[in-house]
Structure 1
């Protein structure tokens, strides 16, 4: 299973929010590219970058910082946050981003998702962010009348192969991931699922890895790494099935 450290960008800094709320922000680094290099040095094989300003504004706002991150590492970087046009998708992939994650447009412009998948294949992922089983968009500020599984099936029909699933109620709270909802999404859709939100212990990672056969083949970690609750090297050993003892 692939473990992907998260780098959330806000006003050029590396931050973490709780439940996506701007009033619950912790700044962990003024130099996101150095943080990216650190995670790579510790063994990360991919990075997950979210442009939080972009998610709220509807267009990327931290492109200069993203370019610095891409220059600082040679592992793949997937990016989400404010990607709502084909021009933005083309620009990001053109600058060296490995995968783009579409969120709000999956609800408001599904034709764009279909076109992007047709053009770029598995470089296009959809982020499905759930609050009590319903989909949240626009930086998690708006909940819509569509279930997470329903949206995932819609996206599968448009050509999406992989989704990032986040339970907003767990994000940034170190209370453990929503294993049931994550497994259900993979089981009912047949999509590859990247688990996100709430991972706080090595046992959480073991539980997610146990769902690999269902299609949950990656996990994103943020606050647990930044707070020191989990050491990345130990976490990678668990995720990759290389634990000793």
Structure 2
């Protein structure tokens, strides 16, 4: 199972929010590019970069930072945050983003997701953010009357192969991931799932790793890494441990 460090960028800085709330922000570094290098040096095989300003504005706002990260690290980067147009996807892929994560647009214009999947294949990922079982959109400021699993199945029908699944109630809280909802999402959708939100210990990673047979192929770590609760090297060791 992959362990993917998160780099959340707001106003050019590396930050973490609690449950997506801007008024609960902690700045961890003024230099996201240096942070990217540190995770690479510690063994990360992927990076998860989110443009928080973009998520709220509806279009990416920190592309220069993203470009610099991509130009200076050797590992692939998946990116999300305000990607709602085809030309934005094209621009991101052209500057070297390995996978583009679509969120709100999956609700408001699912045909665009279908077209993107046909054109770019598995370089398109859908981020499904669940708030009490319902889909959260627009930087988690709103929810829609649609169950997260129902959206996953719709996206699968439109050609999506992989999702990032986040329980927004857990994100940034260090309360542990929602194992049961992650299991239901992976098993019920049949999609490849990258779990996100709430991981706080190596035990959490072990529990998510048990879901690999169901389709959970990775976990995104944010606050657990930045607060020192979890060592990236130890997390990778646990995630890559072979079962007896």
Q: What's the counterpart of residue 201 of structure 1?
A: 201
Q: What's the counterpart of residue 5 of structure 1?
A: 5
Matched position secondary structure for 1:170: coil
State how far apart, in whole Å, the 1-side matches of 2:87 and 2:36 are: 26
State how far apart, in whole Å, the 2-side matches of 1:206 and 1:72 are: 32
1:183 aligns with 2:183: yes
State how far apart, in whole Å, the 2-side matches of 1:186 and 1:228 are: 29
Question: What TM-score do you get using the length of structure 2 for normalisation?
Answer: 0.99
State how far apart, in whole Å, the 1-side matches of 2:93 and 2:61 are: 16
* Aligned partners of 1:34 and 1:72 also within 8 Å: no
State how far apart, in whole Å, the 2-side matches of 1:193 and 1:230 are: 21
- How many residue pairs get matched? 243
| Pairwise CA distance, 1:242 | 6.2
Matched position secondary structure for 1:4: strand
1:24-53 per-residue CA deviation (whole Å, 9 max, x = no partner) reads 000000000000000000000000000000
Q: What's the counterpart of residue 60 of structure 2?
A: 60
| Pairwise CA distance, 1:63 | 0.4
1:50-89 to 2 correspondence within 5 Å? Answer: 50-89=50-89
1:138 aligns with 2:138: yes
State how far apart, in whole Å, the 2-side matches of 1:33 and 1:128 are: 26
Q: What's the counterpart of residue 152 of structure 1?
A: 152
Matched position secondary structure for 1:169: coil
State how far apart, in whole Å, the 2-side matches of 1:149 and 1:158 are: 14
Query: Where does the alignment leave 5 or more consecutive residues of structure 1 unmatched?
Result: none
Q: What's the counterpart of residue 233 of structure 1?
A: 233
* Aligned partners of 1:128 and 1:163 also within 8 Å: yes
| Pairwise CA distance, 1:72 | 2.1
Matched position secondary structure for 1:116: helix
Q: What's the counterpart of residue 216 of structure 1?
A: 216
Q: What's the counterpart of residue 162 of structure 1?
A: 162
Question: What TM-score do you get using the length of structure 1 for normalisation?
Answer: 0.98
1:101-112 to 2 correspondence within 5 Å? Answer: 101-112=101-112
State how far apart, in whole Å, the 2-side matches of 1:101 and 1:240 are: 24
Matched position secondary structure for 2:173: coil
State how far apart, in whole Å, the 1-side matches of 2:242 and 2:163 are: 26
| Pairwise CA distance, 1:71 | 1.8
Q: What's the counterpart of residue 19 of structure 2?
A: 19
Q: What's the counterpart of residue 120 of structure 2?
A: 120
State how far apart, in whole Å, the 1-side matches of 2:94 and 2:10 are: 23
Matched position secondary structure for 2:184: helix
| Pairwise CA distance, 1:68 | 1.2
1:95 aligns with 2:89: no
Matched position secondary structure for 1:44: coil
State how far apart, in whole Å, the 2-side matches of 1:37 and 1:71 are: 11
